[in-house]
Structures are given as C-alpha cells and as structure tokens.
Chains A and B, each alone.
Chain A
Amino acid sequence: MSEPRIRVLLAKPGLDGHDRGVKVIARALRDAGMEVIYTGLRQTPEQIVNAALQEDVDIVGLSILSGAHMTIFPRIRNLMQERGMGDVLLFGGGIIPEEDIPKLKEAGVSEIFLPGTSTEDIIRFIRGNVTPRE
C-alpha cells in the first residue's frame, strides 16, 4: 500500500477574484505529492466547509486579497467547529496586515502566509502539522 497522501482543500471565499496565488500554490502542493481540491472562486463559508467535509480533507487553506479576512476567517473556523472539524487545521494567505495576524490566530487560524512566501515554506508547514489519516 502506498503512503496515505495529505488532502488539502484550497478555497477562495468572498468576492475577491485574484487567483494567481492560490493556483500557483495548488500546483506546488500537487507537485509535492499532496491531493489538492481547489474550490474555484467566490465560495461562501458554508460551501467551503461542506466541501471540506465531503472531501474529508486534512487541512483547509483560504486565499483572501480583498481585506475581508477578519469577517471570513473566523466564520469559517466556527462553522468547521460546529460541523465536527475542530481537528482540521485552517491556514491562509493574502494581503493581510501584520497586526491582524495575532487576532486571526486567536480565532483559530493556524498560520497566515504573506506575499513573498516561498511555496516550500507552505509545504513544510503542512507536512510539519498534518498527519494524513488512514
């Protein structure tokens, strides 16, 4: 049997259409051997959490460049909690002011990656924090 692969859901919540970053990351994670499900643009928090449940992912990543992160991240984290995904990690990236990062971490977001992050750092973070389920 081959090693179980890490399953990642990448999502673009809100109205933001900037998908260059999320698509580059999706490809880099796939090249690193992970299974990546990318939701496409403009998913509501409910749609994202449903997709995470259905796809039985190990970790969820959100990309937001629109400034709506303080509304959207906590909402998705809470929905994940309610739907029994308290153990599934949530991370994100985008145009996010440094001072918002501690508040997002307090709200249960494991890590925030800012522009200029190497895809290697994201891969290392995921491998270091996620054990794929059998």
Chain B
Amino acid sequence: MSESVNTTAESTARDEQERRWEENCLNPSLARMPESQSEFTTVSLRPVKRLYTPNDIADIDYARDIGFPGAPPYTRGIHPTGYRAKLWTMRQFAGFGSAFDTNERFKYLLAHGQTGLSTAFDLPTLMGYDSDHPISEGEVGKCGVAISSREDIEVLFDGIPLDRVTTSMTINAPASMIFAFFLAAAERRGIALHSIGGTLQNDILKEYIAQKEWIYPPRPAMRLVTDTFRFCAAEMPKWNSISISGYHIREAGSTAAQELAFTLRDGIEYVDYGIRAGLDVDEFAPRLSFFFNAHNDFFEEIAKYRAARRIWHRVMTERFKAKNPRSRQMRFHTQTAGVSLTVQQPINNIIRVAIQALAGVIGGTQSLHCDGYDEALALPTERAALIALRTQQIIAHETGVVNTVDPLAGSYFVERLTKDMEEEAWEYFRKIDEMGGMVEAIEAGFPQKEIHESAYQYQRAVERGEKVIVGVNEFEMEGNELGEPNILQIDETVAELQRERLDRLRRTRNQAAADRALDALRRGAEDPRANTMPLLIDCARADCTLGEMCDALRPVFGEYQEPSF
C-alpha cells in the first residue's frame, strides 16, 4: 500500500519535473531550432518519440517482464553469463560453384577463426532439381553450391570434423533429402549420428510467405517437416531439426514487427503440427531454433530479439504447457540484412554490416553471419568473406559489448520498444489464429499481402526522400571513387563437372537397388503413419539423386502453384 502511494508520489513529481522541462528547456529550444522532421520513424516506419522516460515503462514489471538472464521470461537472454563464458558461434554462410569450390572456402574460413559452418545451395538444389535437369541451365553453382547426390555432400564436407564443427544447411523444400545425403555421408565416415551438432533450416512455411523456393503444397510439405522432427527426436539429440526463419520475411520487405510476428507464429504452427504428428512437445521443442535478420535500425532490432525470447517463453509455457526449460528458451541465429546492401559505393556496406551485427550481438544471438560488402553485386569473394568474419571478431574482442549481459535492459526506449513489438506480435497471432492457423493464413495470402504492402510503403518513403540511403538517394557519386570491388564469377564449367559426375553416378550405381529405394519411398509417402526420413536415407545410401527423390514424391504430394494474391 505505502509502496504504491510512494510510486504515485514519485510519478507525480516526475510529471511536474517533465512539465517544467518542457516549458523552460524544450519549448525555447524548439522555438529557436525546430526539429528537422515532423515525425521520426524507424526503418520499419514505426514512429519514435523525442524522449522516453520512466513513465513509458510504468506498465513493465522487472520480475515479470524482464527478469534475469538464463531465467524466465528470458528477455535478457538464455545464458546467465551472456557471452562471458562462450561467444556466439561465428558462422559465415558460404556456398558457390561445385562442392570442391565450397569445401575450399569452408576450410579457408575455419583456418581464419570461424567457429561453425553454414551452407548456401544453388537454386536448382533449393528447388529439388539435379544439376543436369534442363531447368537448371544457367543456374548451376551460381547463388550457392550445386549438390545433387550423396557424393557431392561427401566432397562438400571432406576433411571437416562433423562431430566437432557444427554445420548448418540452408535448405527447405528438399531439406529432408539433403539431410539424408548428409546422414548417409556421415555414416560412411563412421561418425555416430548422436554426436553430430548442427542445423537444418527446414522451414517451409516462410518459403510460401517470402523466399518462394517450394516443391510441394503446404500440407504434405509440413508432413516432411514433422517426419524430420520425429527422426531427430529419436536419433539426433544435438541437431536442430529446424531453423524457423524471419530473415527472408524481412528481406521480402516486412517490418521488424512483422518479421517477429510471422516467424513466431510459424513456430507455433510447427509445434502444433509436431504435436498432431504424435510427439510430446518436450520431445522436439528443445531442438527448434530460430533465425532473424539484423537490419539498420539499431534499437528496433535489439528490441525485436528481446521481445522474441519473451514471447516464445510465454507461448511455450501457456499455450503448449512445455515442462522442459529448454523448450521455452529461444535460441537464434542472426544474419545481417542483405537487402540493405547497396551497389553504389559498396565499401560502405562494411559499415552497415558492422552496425547490424552489433545489434545482433547486443540482442543476444547464438550465432552470427555478417554479409560480404560485395553481396549486392554477386556472391562474396574470399576477401569480402574474410572482412565479414573479421567484423565479428572485432565486435567480440575489441568493442567491450560482451563484458556485461543484455546491456540495454532498463533503457526506457528499448524496454518500451520491446513491449510494443511484443504487443504487435500478439495482435498478429490473434488474427492468424482466427484464420485457423498459419497454413490457412498462407493459403489466404495474408502474410504475403502484409509484407508486400510494407515493402511498397518503404520504397515510397525512400523515393520521397523521407528515408535516406547513403550513396543511393543522398551523397551520391559518379562512379565508385571508393574503389571497384572484384566480384566472384561462376562460369559454366561447374555445370559441366556436375553433368559428368551425375552421369558416372547413374552408370556405376546398382540400378535395381536405387529403384527399390525410390519405390519404398513412394509407398512410405502414401502411408501417413510411415516416416519418410529413414526411407530417404535408404535412397541416399543407394545413390539416388536429389531430383529422383523429389520426383518420387511429386505424384503423391502434388506440386505447389502460387495463387495470385
């Protein structure tokens, strides 16, 4: 009682103080020197006030909403000591050309202090086509590494200790097929599955929403995902069966709050489907991981990560009644915003990346990728990838931001923003729940339309000059006085090499065994109780190609055609 009287008295005194400040300090200043804009907004066009004070966080309770790191609701992070015991994993996303080319880049990055691997696949692979399929022409090895077989995966990870270095594979529609290659390759190297740590992106929902690399319609595709959940729950305790990704949602033009909301609502959908597939929530939820963008607006990004952890804790506790604390702890990877990189004066991108990465670190990311400064032009050169890795090392070892846990907690502005973004996400959850779930919302085009609207509004703000992009709509220069970067070119020899390798594979394998494995896969897919994952591993062992495995499921699952929204 007396406490609340005191609080009220304090707040009245503060109001009086603020009123006097406005009158004596602010208003004369505004009269002398008006503000440069009538409204200040974040990169997501969210209005930001001139000043935040204790009044802005009056509804936030430390114990309930913020708490201690490593303890619910995990707003301040999932580790009690932040980065003081262990830094984030420096995981640069890499992949181009053939498996031989990318293996070399992997080794280069590890030799320079990188602590985890992340694989980028080319478009044919992402779409489930072999490198020698006619549709792959012109695309082989161009925006990632070309992988069509178990042999290719073996080359990709040759000489890399898979039981010590964690690997991440950014693959979605054919995630379980590539995973099967990976597991069959590990088996041949004699590595026990339970000892392998890493992440399969495996997030098909955000493909329909944003990245648009799909094969099958959402419902059968969700079955493939829950099959991997079941497989990993039983066999691979150190493997993240999914990386639920907001990155691509943001790149497609969403706001920070939409990225937060759609990603976490996707997370809810995966938990729902996992439970429906017969799993107990605590069997698979501890291995769900997340992936966010780090964009230019420093504080908004940090608030987004903090809100994400708090929301996930509440969702897992209240909605799913998870008992294992690990099910309630959101772990996430962060990548700087590719979409923010400019072709104009590309060296400037090094600065953008550093600031974005700093937000990811202060936001408590578990692993981080920094974009290469030349990525608005092409895939990163070795030099650009090295500078990106060095950016992480400078943040880790020189800036001092790792010395204390969640350093921005208690900031009136950051706590307000964290709470506002959280509320915006709950509002989206309500809307999507009303539609019946995320699969239904996707089928209705809801998140797609919301993202497109935000992308368009942002473009208009840039064109009106309300949002400045240095070197693009202000501070432009003729030519690139800051230096013309060399760019990585992938020629058609990669496609030739892949054609030869696939040719030889098909000629030398036991064809009857390959046919039997594909037939068993098809029959397994027709039976909703069967798990496709072991059947896919059998296909990988029998040297079936990626395209053959994906094709085997097409007649059973159908193919996705995007409706026009």
Residues on A close to B: CB < 8 A?
14-20, 23-24, 27-28, 38, 40-41, 44, 66-68, 70-72, 95, 97-98, 114-116, 118-120
Residues on B close to A: CB < 8 A?
123-124, 126-127, 129, 135-139, 142-143, 207, 211-213, 251-253, 339, 342-344, 376-379, 452, 455-456, 459, 462-463, 469, 472-473, 487, 489-490, 562, 564
CB pair B123–A15 under 8 Å, yes or no, is yes
Q: How far is the CA of A97 from the CA of B343 in the complex (A)?
A: 9
CB pair B212–A97 under 8 Å, yes or no, is no
Q: How far is the CA of A23 from the CA of B212 in the complex (A)?
A: 14
CB pair B376–A115 under 8 Å, yes or no, is yes
Q: How far is the CA of A19 from the CA of B487 in the complex (A)?
A: 24
CB pair B123–A119 under 8 Å, yes or no, is no
In the assembled complex, the CB of A41 is this many whole angstroms from the nearest CB of chain B, namely: 6
**DSSP class of A's interface residues: helix, strand, loop or mixed?**
loop
When A40-B564, A115-B343, A115-B376 are in contact, do A66 and B456 touch as well, CB less than 8 Å? no
In the assembled complex, the CB of A16 is this many whole angstroms from the nearest CB of chain B, namely: 6
CB pair A28–B459 under 8 Å, yes or no, is yes
CB pair B463–A119 under 8 Å, yes or no, is yes
Q: Which residues of A contact B124 (CB under 8 A)?
A: 15
Q: In the complex, how many residue pairs between chain A and chain B have their CB atoms under 8 Å apart?
A: 88
Q: Which residues of B contact A27 (CB under 8 A)?
A: 452, 456
Given contacts A15-B135, A24-B253, 17 further A-B contacts (CB under 8 A): A16-B123, A23-B452, A27-B452, A28-B456, A66-B139, A67-B143, A67-B379, A68-B123, A68-B138, A72-B138, A95-B378, A97-B489, A98-B377, A114-B343, A115-B342, A116-B344, A118-B473
CB pair B139–A15 under 8 Å, yes or no, is yes
When A20-B252, A120-B463 are in contact, do A41 and B212 touch as well, CB less than 8 Å? yes
| B212: contacting residue among A19, A72, A119, CB under 8 A | A19
Most A-side CB within 10 Å, residue of B135, B212, B252, B564: B212
User: 18 A-B residue contacts at CB 8 Å?
Assistant: A15-B124, A20-B455, A23-B456, A24-B455, A24-B459, A66-B142, A67-B139, A67-B490, A68-B142, A71-B138, A97-B378, A114-B343, A115-B376, A116-B342, A116-B472, A118-B462, A118-B463, A119-B463
Q: How far is the CA of A19 from the CA of B448 in the complex (A)?
A: 11
CB pair B212–A24 under 8 Å, yes or no, is no
Looking across the interface, which residue of chain A has its beta carbon closest to that of B251?
A: A20
Looking across the interface, which residue of chain B has its beta carbon closest to that of A16?
A: B123
Q: Which residues of A contact B564 (CB under 8 A)?
A: 38, 40
Q: How far is the CA of A67 from the CA of B489 in the complex (A)?
A: 9
Q: How far is the CA of A131 from the CA of B346 in the complex (A)?
A: 37
Looking across the interface, which residue of chain B has its beta carbon closest to that of A39?
A: B564
Q: How far is the CA of A114 from the CA of B343 in the complex (A)?
A: 8
